[in-house]
Structure 1
Amino acid sequence: MLASYYAELLNFFSRSLNDRQAAADVVQESYARVLALQAREVAVRDLRALLFRTGKNIVIDDARRRQVDAQLLQTLALVAADDAPSTERVIASRQQLELLVRRLTAMPRKRREVFVLVRIYGFSHAEAAAHMDISIASVEKHVVRAVCGCMGLDT
């Protein structure tokens, strides 16, 4: 039954993202999440709608993650932009870095470790899950909560 929606999902997300490979990744992750729900025997009324909603949520989460990454890169670029940055820039950058370090330090150990594996070392969610012996869903939750924590949002 799940296979009958694959082409429709792939075409929809290919048009939305203008990238067939990224769309295939979204569809694959959508299927994995829905199958995980079914494995836990969660009742699903409209499988097609759930697959589409799950895919849209994945795209939104990815966009948010990229936005945080872009802000972090922008901050780092400000620090590295000048050979002799102004005193104000140095102080502001140090304060931002200190705030980020405080927020990371305040996180639970496992959340911080997952965040470092995924965001700093570039592990995939599956690789981080295997490395830490936790589920992929747990890795996803830790990463989302860690990103929110770095941004100062309550999780």
Structure 2
Amino acid sequence: MITLRDISDQDLVSLLREGNKDAYTEIYNRYKWLLHAHAYKKLGDRDAANDLVQELFTSLWTRRGDIVLISTLSAYLYTAVRNRVLNMMEHKQVESKYIDSLAAYTSNYVAGTDHLVREKQLMAIIETEIAALPPKMREVFELSRKSHLSHKEIAEQLNISEETVKKQVKNALKVLRVRLGLVLYIFLLVKF
């Protein structure tokens, strides 16, 4: 009996175009680790590589009817990973330039009394959002950002793994970015 594991990539793609979920699963199982390894080698960040591969496979499913293979499925997928890595790197460069220009602007700026008041208000908002984090996440975040401890030092102090510390800090930053993004926008909109 022939299973999906035994059929060629070309046949899997044909089945995928027809909406066959089992063919999609077989493609995912054949290539997810190879693509993840390829993305990780380029990015040096396992979480980013994992996100990139997940987004690629989500896109593969949603755009399955539009897939045109010029050569092989593996070449198609590797090219898609390469393009996403390049887009990600380009985005990081733009983000870095923006942060650098913002830092240069703020270092050359002399704050007046009004701006000092706004800065205190903003710090109070940030402190409120930090206080709203789950207790363990808040503790790890504060040790990292306020006490300036390394992940290793935090892990030793709290008796948890460095990976847990890294994940807690990353999750705290995600939560704060979402919560403070809108707050900062409204704050700037109202004050200027």
TM-score by length of 1: 0.47
TM-score by length of 2: 0.39
The structure with more radius of gyration:
2
